């Protein structure tokens, strides 16, 4: 069974009393176009809700209708906007759903989730820092280049490690960079071994080969 609308009820009351729209418009001084729109439930074509309610009261007064059920049906199907217009609730509902996406419960849940993510990221970073071997990069010279017997090694590592080159200790600057000269007495291919060891016993080993020419 189809639910009756406010327009259906007003039109039925008028027709039951054998009044035409022209008769009603003449009696109430309401524009014919407004009465047609009201009985057709076309509220977009009607003025503000205050006027619409006044039109409904005219129907109730002339045709001896109870106002309360009429306004209850109006509230059931329509909601008054901030501009005072009556808007169908079915149209408003998606907008209301969008507004409730960020409810207080959702915001609290999101805050907890973000806090957990921050702590999880921090814990992972700490674990990574503790478990990874020391950084060790030799920036110069490159692999397999031709060098003289004295080679200047330059690179970067962690600032708190013990660094050795061919088992000899090397000083590290505060920023982790280092520079040391190595003597290679043998002509031809020579290999240099660098080792960085941290306090927890983890080590990184890097070997670089050069062709020595006297």
Residues 38 and 90 in one domain: yes
Residues 144 and 203 in one domain: yes
Once rounded to an integer, what is the mean pLDDT over residues 44-70?
Answer: 94
Q: Tell me the per-residue pLDDT of 14-36, one tens digit each, with 9 for 90 and over.
A: 999 999 999 999 999 999 999 99
Residues 19 and 42 in one domain: yes
Residues 141 and 111 in one domain: no
Is residue 180 predicted with pLDDT exceeding 90? Answer: yes
Residues 160 and 83 in one domain: no
Residue 1 lies in a domain: no
Is residue 66 predicted with pLDDT exceeding 90? Answer: yes
Which domain, by its residues, includes 166? Answer: 136-212
**Predicted local distance difference test score (pLDDT) of residue 92:** 57
Is residue 199 predicted with pLDDT exceeding 50? Answer: yes
Percent of the chain at pLDDT exceeding 90: 68
**Predicted local distance difference test score (pLDDT) of residue 101:** 54
Return all residues near 128 (Cβ < 8 A) that are at least 6 apart: none
**What is the CATH classification number for the domain harbouring 167?**
2.60.40.10
Q: How many domains does one find in the chain? A: 3
Residues 21 and 81 in one domain: yes
Residue 24 lies in a domain: yes
Give the pLDDT band of residue 158 (cuts 50, 70, 90): very high
Residue 94 lies in a domain: yes
Is residue 124 predicted with pLDDT exceeding 80? Answer: no
Identify which has the larger pLDDT, 17 or 214: 17
**Predicted local distance difference test score (pLDDT) of residue 212:** 93
Residue 64 lies in a domain: yes
Is residue 109 predicted with pLDDT exceeding 50? Answer: yes
Give the pLDDT band of residue 96 (cuts 50, 70, 90): very low
Residues 127 and 202 in one domain: no
Residues 11 and 89 in one domain: yes
**Predicted local distance difference test score (pLDDT) of residue 181:** 95
**What is the CATH classification number for the domain harbouring 18?**
1.10.260.40
Do the Cβ atoms of 40 and 7 come closer than 8 Å? Answer: yes
Residues 21 and 82 in one domain: yes
Picking from 35-49, 70-84, 99-113, 184-198, which range would have the lowest pLDDT averaged per residue? 99-113
Once rounded to an integer, what is the mean pLDDT over residues 101-117?
Answer: 80
Of 114, 131, 148, the last residue of a domain is: 131
Residue 176 lies in a domain: yes
Residues 146 and 76 in one domain: no
Residues 96 and 24 in one domain: yes
């Amino acid at each position: 069974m189809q639910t009756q609308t406010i327009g259906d009820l007003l039109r039925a009351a008028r027709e039951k009393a054998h009044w035409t729209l022209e008769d009603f418009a003449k009696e109430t001084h309401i524009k014919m176009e407004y009465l047609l729109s009201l009985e057709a439930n076309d509220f977009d074509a009607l003025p503000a809700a205050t006027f619409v309610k006044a039109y409904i009261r005219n129907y109730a007064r002339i045709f001896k209708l109870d106002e309360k059920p009429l306004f209850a049906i109006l509230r059931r199907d329509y909601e008054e906007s901030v501009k005072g217009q009556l808007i169908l609730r079915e149209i408003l509902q998606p907008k209301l759903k969008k507004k409730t996406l960020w409810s207080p419960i959702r915001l609290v849940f999101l805050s907890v989730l973000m806090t957990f993510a921050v702590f999880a990221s921090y814990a992972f970073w700490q674990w990574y820092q503790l478990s990874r071997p020391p950084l060790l990069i030799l920036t110069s010279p490159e692999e397999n280049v031709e060098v003289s017997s004295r080679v200047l090694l330059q690179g970067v590592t962690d600032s708190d490690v013990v660094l050795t080159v061919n088992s000899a200790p090397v000083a590290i600057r505060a920023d982790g960079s280092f520079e040391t000269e190595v003597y290679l007495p043998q002509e031809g291919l020579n290999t240099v071994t660098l080792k960085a060891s941290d306090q927890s016993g983890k080590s990184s080993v890097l070997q670089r080969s050069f062709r020595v020419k006297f």
